[in-house]
Amino acid sequence: MDTSVWIDFFNGLENKQTENLDRILSEKTVLVGDIILAEILQGFDSDKDFRLAKQALEPLDCVHLGGKSLAIKAASNFRSLRAKGVTIRKTVEMLIGSWCIEHEVELLHNDKYFNQIVTHLPLQIYSD
């Protein structure tokens, strides 16, 4: 799950992605990347909301999205996209997308950058 879906979810927004997330949470194993976890939790203003979100996310499997190998793969993917005229402005999206590609994991997102990545790289997007 990308941060974009979690933000909508915690803000109570109803859309296709949050409906999928709500369903998936009870049916499948949900992975959260360490960087995504940090992005989600840093967005809460109140201590109470931070604690509640942290408690809700605690049971999820947390995966490491960094390291030298992934950094090199993400840079390579970025360069490949740029050569095709597509520039992804956020490094974290390249890391997330590259991790999902390398591990053949579907990504549920609500972010325009992943739509650009999927048109040129074998990123699998979750669809119900």
Q: Residue 17: exposed, middle, or buried by beta-carbon count in 10 A (0-12, 13-18, 19+)?
A: buried
Distance between the two ends of the chain, CA-based, in angstroms? 14
Q: Is pLDDT above 90 for 127?
A: no
- In whole angstroms, give the CA distance from residue 87 to residue 25: 32
- In whole angstroms, give the CA distance from residue 40 to residue 21: 15
**β-bridge partners, 62:** 32
The per-residue pLDDT for range 44-57, each reduced to its tens digit, is: 999 999 999 999 99
Q: Which of 30, 44, 26, 28 is nearest to 2 (CA)?
A: 30
Share of the chain above pLDDT 70, in %: 100
Residue 30 gets which letter from DSSP? -
Mean pLDDT along residues 118-124: 94
pTM metric for this prediction: 0.88
The per-residue pLDDT for range 73-114, each reduced to its tens digit, is: 999 999 999 999 999 989 999 999 999 999 999 999 998 899
- In whole angstroms, give the CA distance from residue 31 to residue 55: 15
- Structural domains for the chain: 3-118 (3.40.50.1010)
The pLDDT score that the predictor gives to residue 51 is 96
The pLDDT score that the predictor gives to residue 26 is 86
**Residue 55, SS3 per DSSP:** helix
